[in-house]
Amino acid sequence: MSAAALLLALLAAALPQEAPQGCRACQKRGVVDCPEHEAGLRELEAAVRCSEAAGCARCGGALATDCPKCEGGPESAAAEARRAELAAWLAAGRLPVEEALGRAVLRVEAPHVHLAGEIGTLKDGKKKASGHRFLHELARDAELAAGMVNAHFGLERERDYKAPMRLWFWQEEATHLAVMREHLKISGAGDVKILGRKPTFTVWTADRAFGDEFADLLTLGVHNAVHMLLSNAWDEVWIGDQGAGWFDGGAAHWYEEKIYGRARHYCIDEAGSPPNWENGVWRAAIRALLARREASVLPELVRRQTGEMTPEEHALSWSVYDWILATNPEALAPILKGLKAKRPAREVLPETLGLGVVEAERAWRAWVADAYPAREKKPKD
Ligand SMILES: [Zn+2]
Ligand SMILES: [Zn+2]
Ligand SMILES: [Zn+2]
Ligand SMILES: [Zn+2]
């Protein structure tokens, strides 16, 4: 072969084959939407791994099937890759909790949160919503919270967390109890979270405190995901029982309130009557409370455990976190690291904020008087 002919042959081999272009029937995609999936969830499905979607006999979770009218198009390869990815994920086997129950459950896995459970339908106002939709919306909102936590603390998922946050939701009380006793080996009946190295949260959705209410359970999931993220970041230490409930609880309320405009969850076992300080709308109420209370708040607050704080102290903790984030956001990471090292706030605050506890209270009160409104609309329910 001459040099010129060889060059031509090499060029021909290197040229890509004509890529398939799709057709009019598939709007030049090469694939068509799989009709088997719940309306309005396509975007949320694409962001996670979902066992229900992956189990679709028509599309294997790609949400699209080959166009019957053409040889494929620009979206064909991505659909095939997604189908293979989800098949490999399912083939990796059941979760330990599924093995313990002896059956597969619904799983929705996002980068920071691995959700699982068995929920038929939940109450969403006057409508009903599927448990499947619930796990997808929770995955979306918990990832939103995780993204903010990461930004505020300079955290990176792969580098700084030891495990994904596992959150489980069971509509049957018997399943919740079986998971706790036989799988997690813990006692108790209400919603329970295990913090630190392998964070796990499990709840019976029909518990009187939550009543199968979609919005209540969604905010519960995000609130607890934040506790779990902070307990797992860097060192696997939960500060909530190390005398730093103000920071642990304050943060959990902060992201919940940021996403939903309201705080609902207190991590207090109230035997079916959850606390509801000022209906979860706190700015004007905190401003009024501090204006009429002359006695100092912080010296006592910064020593409390998460589980022993009153509803009012939870709200005050939220406000202290709100103040630090607004005025000194780069202090959040060193404060958390100091508290995780089991050092008291009276040492950590001067080092990170340049303020002793008494000075910090003065600055926080002045900020609240300026930043919070005197009046605020309250939700009706
Ligand atoms: Zn086509
Ligand atoms: Zn799904
Ligand atoms: Zn499908
Ligand atoms: Zn909490």
Domain definitions of the chain by residue range? 31-74+85-93, 96-236, 244-381
Token code pair at residue 16: 């890509």
Ligand 2 centroid to residue 54 C-alpha, Å: 8
Ligand 3 centroid to residue 78 C-alpha, Å: 15
Ligand 2 centroid to residue 50 C-alpha, Å: 5
* Alpha-carbon gap, residue 328 to 152, rounded angstroms: 11
Ligand 4 centroid to residue 329 C-alpha, Å: 21
Angle 245-260/311-327 helices, nearest 10 degrees?
80
The answer to whether the CB of 169 falls within 8 A of the CB of 207 is no
Ligand 3 centroid to residue 113 C-alpha, Å: 24
Ligand 2 centroid to residue 264 C-alpha, Å: 27
Nearest to 86 by CA among 53, 44, 39, 135: 53
Which CATH code, of 3.40.30.160, 3.50.50.100, 3.40.50.620, 3.40.50.2000, is assigned to 96-236? 3.40.30.160
Q: Which ligand is nearest to the CA of 269?
A: 4
* Alpha-carbon gap, residue 216 to 214, rounded angstroms: 6
Q: Which ligand is nearest to the CA of 58?
A: 3
pLDDT tens, N- to C-terminus, the chain (381 residues): 566 666 656 655 655 567 889 999 999 999 999 999 988 899 999 999 999 999 999 999 999 999 999 999 999 999 999 999 999 999 999 999 999 999 999 999 999 999 999 999 999 999 999 999 999 999 999 999 999 999 999 999 999 999 999 999 999 999 999 999 989 898 877 788 888 889 999 999 999 889 999 999 999 999 999 999 999 999 999 999 888 999 999 999 999 999 999 999 988 765 556 678 998 999 999 999 999 999 999 999 999 998 889 999 999 999 999 999 999 999 999 999 999 999 999 999 999 999 999 999 999 999 999 999 999 987 766
Q: Which ligand is nearest to the CA of 50?
A: 2
Ligand 4 centroid to residue 99 C-alpha, Å: 30
Ligand 2 centroid to residue 71 C-alpha, Å: 28
Predicted local confidence at residue 255, as pLDDT: 98
Predicted local confidence at residue 276, as pLDDT: 86
Asked if the domains 96-236 and 244-381 are classified in one and the same CATH topology, the answer is no
* Alpha-carbon gap, residue 105 to 52, rounded angstroms: 9
Q: Which ligand is nearest to the CA of 34?
A: 3
* Alpha-carbon gap, residue 129 to 131, rounded angstroms: 7
Q: Which CATH code fits 244-381?
A: 1.10.390
Ligand 3 centroid to residue 4 C-alpha, Å: 51
